[in-house]
């Protein structure tokens, strides 16, 4: 038996300032949704304490129809929706870029809905990107809305600024942004992964952008992005295939949000962006209303369950309200060592960018009601243990042993010489990989989130997932 020293202890025994929590929602993944599917997603999000979705349509008829259904269901469920327009992207079916007429129409349509998210009396409107349109575009949008009798609080994610701030003085970059964009009221920091660097992301950018928001006299919300992972591989070359260092990203970002930043809103990035591997929703069905045709991304999504990450999110969202009531360990791992040759994937035509960053290990996040021993077996590394207590989560890891093949990790919670909970990895760690895959499997030892909150697979017509269009983390 090997005893593990503390890898990372995230103690949080006191009260925290409550903040609203949203999850970014990809409307492009709802082609075949009805109101039934929207309700399933909303109920599952509410089950872990999420207050709303950040979602926005593009100018396609089916996309707008899905938003109509979303607002109807959200209003009935006491859930909130915040428009978040993807301004980096223009659908192929559109011959013109984003325009204030379309955006104003959509905002006005549900400005008085009980589901509309209101900040200081104004409807909150966010975006992904938008720098290409300039300050005048955002100013015009606000003027159009005012003429329609709707005041909005603009909190966009101007990603070029937060990306630059990771490598330059974030205070100077933030000050420049607010000088250049006098029309925005708040801000969303979407850049929640380190950029092509083998280091843990710090909260420095959030702290300086949050301070700059206040120094500029803006009254909108500061929204902090929190994400569990970043990997995609469209199998079409180096610039569309990368992994960012994410081994312990999710607990670190939550810890920063609660202890350091205390933002007005936390936005989980994302609920259902399968193509970039940062989903916490249940996997899409292979058939039925919630099914998606994932194309090449299905090589690293189908079978790669992330739903147990919702257990972690639930803890961080609700700790200050209810404390710990269950013994649980969430664990995650990649399904092959990073240096083995795979049958397909980008390694056939290049190299997945930053492929050396992830650690070949099984990571475990333990949250228990009383002092416990967490035991982990990873191939020939058997019964490695560490201690967890009732004063907050403990994070640890067990490395892949040399030559690991066809091994299913096992994690147990033990107390007073009794095994209380056991979790087995759902996919084996193997040397014979069919696709170069940096998307983790996420498992759970302990009770899942209540069954009524989980989403069914459904049946019927198969849906689709549009091919992802852009690199979000630049």
Sheet containing strand 372-378, edge to edge, reads 381-388, 372-378, 410-415, 418-424
The architecture that CATH gives domain 15-322 is Alpha-Beta Barrel (3.20)
Give the model's pLDDT for residue 211: 98
Domain locations in the chain as residue ranges: 15-322, 328-448
Which residues, listed in sequence order, are joined to residue 82 by a DSSP beta bridge?
54
Of 114-118, 240-244, 341-345, 393-397, the least confident: 341-345
The arithmetic mean of pLDDT across residues 187-216, rounded, is: 97
> Strand pairing of 265-268 and 20-24?
parallel
- Within 8 A by CB and 6+ apart from 123, the residues are 83, 107, 111, 116, 117, 150, 151, 152, 153
Query: Is a pLDDT exceeding 50 seen at residue 464?
Result: no
Burial class (CB in 10 A: 0-12, 13-18, 19+), 2: exposed
CA distance 63 to 474: 25
Higher pLDDT among residues 9 and 29, named by residue: 29
CB 301 within 8 A of CB 282: no
Query: Is a pLDDT exceeding 90 seen at residue 68?
Result: yes
CB 222 within 8 A of CB 186: yes
Query: Is a pLDDT exceeding 90 seen at residue 93?
Result: no
Token reading at 208: 């300086």
CA distance 294 to 301: 8
Give the model's pLDDT for residue 413: 98
Query: Is a pLDDT exceeding 60 seen at residue 456?
Result: no
The model's pLDDT over 384-425, given as tens digits with 9 standing for 90+, comes to 999 999 888 899 999 999 999 999 999 999 999 999 999 999
The arithmetic mean of pLDDT across residues 143-153, rounded, is: 96
The arithmetic mean of pLDDT across residues 12-20, rounded, is: 61
* C-alpha Rg value of the chain to the nearest Å: 22
Mean pLDDT, the chain, rounded, equals 88
CA distance 309 to 213: 31
Question: How much is the pTM?
Answer: 0.88
**C-alpha angle 355/430/242, rounded to 5°?**
20
> Strand pairing of 118-119 and 122-128?
antiparallel
User: Residue 434's pLDDT band (boundaries 50, 70, 90)?
Assistant: confident
The arithmetic mean of pLDDT across residues 242-255, rounded, is: 95
């Amino acid at each position: 038996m090997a005893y593990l020293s503390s890898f990372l202890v995230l103690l949080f025994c006191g009260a925290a300032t409550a903040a609203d929590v949203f999850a970014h929602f990809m409307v492009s993944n709802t082609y075949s949704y009805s109101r039934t599917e929207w309700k399933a997603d909303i109920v599952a999000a509410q089950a872990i304490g999420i207050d709303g979705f950040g979602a926005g349509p593009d100018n396609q008829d089916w996309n707008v129809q899905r938003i109509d259904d979303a607002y109807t269901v959200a209003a009935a469920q006491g859930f909130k929706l915040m428009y978040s327009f993807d301004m980096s992207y223009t659908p192929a079916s559109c011959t013109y870029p984003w325009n204030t007429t379309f955006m104003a129409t959509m905002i006005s349509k549900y400005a008085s809905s009980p589901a509309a998210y209101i900040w200081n009396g104004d409807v909150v409107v966010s975006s992904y990107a938008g720098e290409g349109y300039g300050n005048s575009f955002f100013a015009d949008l606000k003027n159009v809305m005012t003429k329609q009798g709707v005041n909005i609080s603009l909190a966009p994610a101007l990603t070029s600024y937060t990306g630059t701030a990771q490598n330059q003085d974030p205070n100077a970059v933030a000050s420049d942004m607010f000088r250049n964009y006098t029309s925005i009221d708040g801000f969303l920091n979407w850049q929640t992964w380190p950029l092509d660097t083998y280091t843990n992301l710090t909260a420095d950018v959030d702290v300086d952008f949050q301070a700059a928001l206040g120094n500029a006299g803006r009254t909108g919300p500061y929204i902090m992005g929190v994400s569990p992972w970043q990997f995609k591989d469209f199998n079409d070359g180096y610039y569309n295939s990368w992994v960012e260092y994410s081994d312990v990203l999710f607990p670190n970002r939550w810890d920063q949000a609660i202890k350091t930043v205390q933002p007005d809103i936390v936005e989980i990035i994302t609920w259902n962006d399968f193509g970039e591997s940062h989903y916490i929703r249940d996997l899409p069905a292979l058939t039925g209303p919630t099914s998606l045709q994932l194309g090449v991304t299905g090589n690293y999504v189908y079978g790669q369950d992330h739903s147990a990450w919702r257990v972690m999110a639930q803890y961080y969202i609700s700790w200050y309200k209810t404390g710990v009531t269950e013994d649980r360990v969430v664990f995650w791992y990649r399904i092959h060592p990073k240096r083995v040759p795979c049958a397909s994937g980008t390694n056939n035509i290049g190299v997945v960018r930053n492929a050396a960053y992830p650690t070949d290990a099984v990571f475990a996040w333990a949250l228990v009601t009383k002092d416990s021993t967490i035991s982990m077996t990873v191939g020939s590394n058997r019964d490695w243990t560490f201690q967890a207590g009732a004063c907050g989560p403990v994070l640890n890891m067990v490395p892949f042993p040399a030559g690991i093949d066809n091994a299913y990790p096992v994690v147990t919670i033990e107390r007073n010489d009794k095994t209380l909970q056991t979790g087995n990895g759902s996919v084996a760690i193997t040397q014979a990989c069919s696709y170069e895959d940096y998307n983790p499997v996420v498992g759970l030892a302990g009770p899942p989130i209540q069954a009524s909150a989980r989403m069914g697979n459904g049946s019927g017509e198969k849906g689709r997932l549009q091919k992802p269009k852009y690199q979000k983390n630049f």
